[in-house]
Amino acid sequence: MNTPEGILRAGELLNNTYVIEKLIGSGGTGEVYLAKNIVSGRKFAIKILKQEFSQNEAFINLMRREADVLHNVIDDAVVRYNELLKSEMHGGFVFLVMEFIEGPQLAEIMQSSGPMDPNALLQVARRMGQGLAAAHAQNAFHRDISPDNIILPSGDPTKAKLIDFGIARDISENAQTVVGGGFAGKYQYASPEQLNGDVDARSDLYSLGVTLLNAFRGKSSQIGSSLMEIVQVKAQRVDTRDVPGQLGELISRLVEPRPEDRFQSAAEMVRWLGGAPMATAPISAPSPPSEPAMITPSKPATSFQALPEEPGGGLGKFMVLLLIAALGGGGWFFGFGPGKEMVFPAKYEAESPYTIRARHDDGANFITIAGFVRGPEAGAEMLAQLQLTYSEFTINPSLENASGEPNDRWEQIFVSMVKEAKPLNSWKVEMIDEVVSLSGEAQSEAAAEAVRTAFEATGKLVDVDTSISITVAIPPLPLGPLNDLMATYQTCGPLRITGGDGTVLGPNDRMTVSGIIARESDVEVFDHVLNEAASGRGIDYNLGVLSEPICEMEAILPAPQDNGMELHYSYGVREGEVGNQPFHAGENPVIDLLMPSEVNGFLYAFYVGAEGKVYHFIPHLSRQTHTVPPIGEAVDGKQSVRLAYPIAVASTEDLGFTVAAPFGTNMLVVILTKRPLFDSLRPREESIAALQEALAPQANLLNDPETMVISRYLVTEP
């Protein structure tokens, strides 16, 4: 029983796969439900015949036709078909599983908002032209284009989609819809020739023109109440003088009463709208269906054979031209002899494998296509279809005509697969027999995943195997946030990241991390952090590795300053400058402090070892005098104070030492203050923790502008 809720109820599980959520549409013969695939979680539209038609073979055949049409027509402007299935629920019925499109019908917009904007309708026209071109390329004619068969996803006219191939139904504006008897469609939108059962690509364009006109006016045309009146109105030219600009010119060409006065193909219309250049001649008539023509020797010259109408009628009369060469009563109908090319298509050398590829490089304004096609017409139609999708690019083809193609949808399958690559920055699509591979680069992982999903789905739809390899582009990366991030990981002073143009890292730029760290293992942390924040970029390190005690001392001292103080290193047992060279085991470092002659105050000098011990050179118990002057001596206009002595003259007062393990980076620190830094003498040797504790209360004195501080590393090696 057909209840107001429809045949199916919310919560019902269809074929153990689709759970029904709600009824979203109902017409004269069909119902459409929103359903969710319990395996994938994706939402789909489920179309079924109403119960009173569910056992009618004619209507079931129309449902099958819609499945056949949508199986072959793959375009973003046409609703996508998934599968045709049968259910035994509610007495049994067949149903279509299709793409779920969320958005208003053009008819709903007209009813709720009235007239539509001309620019928006031009966008709708282009989308519909794109979809119809794909359908017509498969000899599929919609026959029922009207405002309720065009949906705008999220209300966006640039994403308009064409729905309902094959199932005719009423709409709310009381349009008459007929199935059978030679006509299928709505009288308000049908072309004059369609009323006689004759339908081709130009008939759909007429219906599109009336649809655009009514959407612009916000209401349906008045065409009469009887069939005679409708025929008379359709024979007259439609008045479009109220429609402005390009939209008015477009509609006037679409609704010409005579088919030969309209655009001759949807592709031509799209090119006229500014889509693709006129690369090929307009297609003036559709190709015949795939049924073979019957060739008989008894008919001379030229004759026409009408094919049988499809179940339910309404497809019009497809005519097949039969060319017979009747020469002297001979049996030439097999195509042998001089008349052969008149009956059979040209033959080309067979190729195996049968291949074709298309490629677009990032930043290029062209697409290259090379490979095999079944002939000039098939190649031209393929290029026209691709140009509709890639209208912003020039297509550079290098095609060869060849036989040996794996199927009769070779070019259309290739077009469908190439369209899915459009969101990528760069891509290459290659089809070898019935295996299609895609490689390319996406702007983001989300974009890459969307293309992977769409490419795989389209491959299943057109029955080919797919192979996909998509990488993600590396976007420009500002250095500022990276340096802010690294500041939280520094262990021994500031870290700085440089590279690129100094402000931003480009996709191929390496970065350099500079600074001082407390331990070599810090680099492992930096690798982990930077590989997450700047994935895909190379990292160079320019780091000095100190010890943790030295880094702790660095944290206590004020920032370095140019105060005229110098620490000078020399050898106690041999001549020569040390410079930046390390001291080795057994060597005797001699350390001198040079200061401007005019400075004075309390002098403190100590050595911080890599192992964490502090040795006070001045003052200590045996060398308590530490005021400047009187200690020190004048050297070249400066005051010089020796802090560490050669072993040969060293004593308990004048300390000296030789290098021994543990080796590493050590540090000399000198502080000159205007008042004493400590209340009492420090022991000659203490831990760095004890010194830190003693210095903590003196933070203000250490940072006093009159306090002079200098430090220098002393590196030791075996």
pLDDT of 3 > 60? The answer is no
- Name the segment(s) of the chain with CATH classification 3.40.1520.20: 355-472
Amino acid identity of 333?
F
Q: How far is CA 16 from the centre of its chain?
A: 34
Residue-wise pLDDT for 268-310, tens only, equals: 999 999 864 333 333 333 333 333 222 222 223 222 222 233 3
Full-prediction pTM beyond 0.85? no
Bridge partners of 36, per DSSP, are 19, 43
Mean pLDDT, range 5-33, rounded to an integer: 85
Other CB atoms closer than 10 Å to residue 710's CB: what's the count? 22
Name 606's bridge partners.
Answer: 616, 669
Q: How far apart are CA 177 and CA 144, in angstroms?
A: 9
pLDDT at 275: 61
Report the C-alpha gap between 590 and 643 in whole angstroms.
8
* Helix, strand and coil in the chain, % to nearest 5: 30, 30, 45
What is the C-alpha separation between 437 and 469, in angstroms, rounded?
A: 8
Fold of 556-717: Immunoglobulin-like (2.60.40)
Q: In this model, does residue 682 exceed pLDDT 80?
A: yes
* Residue 402: predicted pLDDT: 93
Average pLDDT of 363-372?
A: 93
May I ask the CATH class of domain 1-100? alpha beta
Contact 435, 469 (CB under 8 A): no
**CATH 3.30.300.30 domain residues, the chain:** 477-545
Give the tens place of pLDDT for each residue, 568-615.
999 988 877 787 789 999 999 999 999 998 999 999 999 999 888 999
Which CATH code of 3.40.50.970, 3.40.50.1820, 3.30.300.30, 3.40.109.10 fits the domain covering 477-545?
Answer: 3.30.300.30
User: Does domain 355-472 bear CATH number 3.40.1520.20?
Assistant: yes
Higher-confidence residue of 168 and 251: namely: 251
Q: Please compute the mean of the pLDDT values over residues 211-224 and round it to a whole number.
A: 86
Range(s) of the chain covered by CATH 2.60.40: 556-717
Look up the CATH superfamily of 103-287. Answer: Transferase(Phosphotransferase) domain 1 (1.10.510.10)
How would you classify residue 335: left for phi > 0, otherwise alpha for psi between -120 and 50, otherwise beta? left
**Looking at beta carbons, which pairs linking 686-693 to residues 24 or more positions away fall under 8 Å?**
686/613, 686/614, 686/616, 687/612, 687/613, 687/614, 688/549, 688/552, 688/553, 688/608, 688/612, 688/613, 688/614, 690/614, 691/606, 691/614, 692/552, 692/556
Which tops the pLDDT comparison, 520 or 465?
Answer: 465
662 prior amide bond cis, ω within 30: yes
135 phi and psi angles, rounded to 5 deg:
-70, -45
pLDDT at 343 over 50: no
Mean pLDDT of 219-240: 74
